């Protein structure tokens, strides 16, 4: 799964090696009137009265994916009896919300077109189910036991991501990002089992999580001459750095592994420029050297 996600990110990055891969509007009379910047590629969203920096807000549901298979086996207990068990894990729906900043690169880049960061809160949960038929020493069925562990963990997190954009037309674009997030568990963290206590080996993740994540979205800019756009998409962890468990991005709880996914709707509002500020003057390398020599005299 991790390999496929990384290959997908690399594929989309290859789609944007230079300006020739970007959308180029057809020639028309409309291009010779009004603000010509509105026809620039979408990674140069800054048009007219808007700066390269802005506020971003994201929210949406979360879900923890688990293995679809059911584990089955036999466990021996005291008194020569045995448990013929089945064990499975299931995901649960949660929520998240985040606020932060977006910064568009000053000059067009081949891969990185903007970066953003945010702080937020996410609620992740899961279920651990255990059931077993009990057999005595003569292999006669004598009963059945069941148990369930449920949890919801609330994490305060911070993240930083770099984004690559592939423009489809003046209003639509694909948005790919790779980033890092650090989460700290605040609430929840239930470790008790209801019913029969599961005899399976259990592991519980620590409070601190550090992960590398991949972000994919479908961007929509309703008006190319405005500093607003929104991106529905999904964010998934692809590598777990802490606690290190072979690099798996899963959250270990009870006897299962839970892979969290955030289904997001992100809104971005670029700030308006100060009308009293003068635009920066482009200076070539020779003029810059002359200015340094003059200052050193």
Range with the poorest average pLDDT among 28-32, 62-66, 240-244: 28-32
Find which of 12-26, 98-112, 267-281 is predicted with most confidence, using mean pLDDT. Answer: 98-112
Whole-number Å distance between alpha carbons of 32 and 288: 34
Question: Does residue 214 contact residue 239 with C-beta atoms inside 8 Å?
Answer: no
CATH of the domain at 81: 2.40.160.20
User: Looking at residue 294, what is its pLDDT?
Assistant: 54
- Check residues 57 and 246 and name the one with the higher pLDDT: 57
Would you say residue 124 has pLDDT above 70? yes
Alpha-carbon distance values, 140 to 75, 84, 87, 146 (Å): 15, 12, 22, 18
Share of the chain above pLDDT 70, in %: 75
Residues in Cβ contact with 252 at an 8 Å cutoff, skipping those fewer than 6 apart: 203, 204, 205, 245, 258
Domain count, the chain: 1
User: Looking at residue 115, what is its pLDDT?
Assistant: 93
User: Looking at residue 6, what is its pLDDT?
Assistant: 46
- Nearest CA-CA partner of 167 in 10, 268, 18, 271: 18
- Nearest CA-CA partner of 147 in 163, 165, 131, 168: 131
Q: Enter the pTM of the model.
A: 0.76
The gap from C-alpha 60 to its chain's centroid, in whole angstroms, comes to 12
What SS3 class is residue 44? helix
- Nearest CA-CA partner of 87 in 143, 153, 144, 148: 148
Residue 25 phi, psi (nearest 5): -65, 150
Tokens of 46: 């800054």
Whole-number Å distance between alpha carbons of 45 and 37: 9
The gap from C-alpha 35 to its chain's centroid, in whole angstroms, comes to 35
Whole-number Å distance between alpha carbons of 292 and 297: 9
Residue 183: give the domain boundaries: 2-296
User: Looking at residue 286, what is its pLDDT?
Assistant: 62
Residue 61 phi, psi (nearest 5): -85, 160
What is the pLDDT confidence band of residue 225, given thresholds at 50, 70 and 90?
A: confident
Mean pLDDT of all residues in the chain?
Answer: 81
């Amino acid at each position: 799964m991790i390999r496929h996600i990384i290959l997908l990110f690399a594929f989309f990055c290859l789609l944007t090696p230079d300006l020739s891969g970007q959308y180029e509007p057809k020639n028309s009379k409309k291009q010779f009137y009004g603000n010509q910047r509105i026809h620039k590629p979408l990674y140069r969203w800054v048009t007219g009265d808007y700066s390269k920096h802005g506020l971003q807000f994201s929210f949406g549901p979360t879900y923890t994916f688990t293995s679809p298979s059911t584990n089955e086996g036999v466990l021996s207990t005291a008194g020569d009896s045995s448990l013929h068990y089945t064990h499975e894990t299931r995901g649960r729906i949660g929520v998240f919300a985040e606020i932060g900043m977006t910064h568009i690169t000053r000059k067009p880049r081949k891969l990185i077109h903007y970066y953003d960061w945010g702080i937020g809160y996410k609620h992740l949960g899961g279920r651990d189910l255990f059931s077993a038929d009990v057999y005595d020493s003569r292999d006669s069925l004598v009963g059945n036991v069941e148990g369930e562990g449920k949890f919801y963990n609330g994490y305060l997190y911070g993240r930083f991501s770099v984004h690559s954009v592939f423009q489809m037309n003046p209003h639509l674009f694909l948005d790919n990002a790779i980033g890092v997030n650090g989460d700290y568990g605040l609430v929840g963290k239930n470790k008790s089992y209801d019913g029969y206590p599961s005899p399976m080996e259990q592991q519980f993740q620590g409070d601190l999580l550090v992960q590398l994540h991949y972000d994919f979205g479908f961007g929509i800019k309703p008006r190319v001459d405005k500093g607003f756009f929104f991106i529905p998409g999904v964010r998934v962890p692809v590598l777990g750095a802490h606690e290190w468990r072979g690099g798996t991005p899963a959250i270990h709880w009870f006897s299962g592994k839970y892979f969290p996914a955030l289904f997001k709707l992100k809104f971005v509002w670029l700030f308006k420029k100060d009308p009293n500020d003068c635009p920066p003057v482009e200076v070539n390398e020779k003029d810059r050297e002359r200015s340094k020599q003059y200052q050193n005299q």
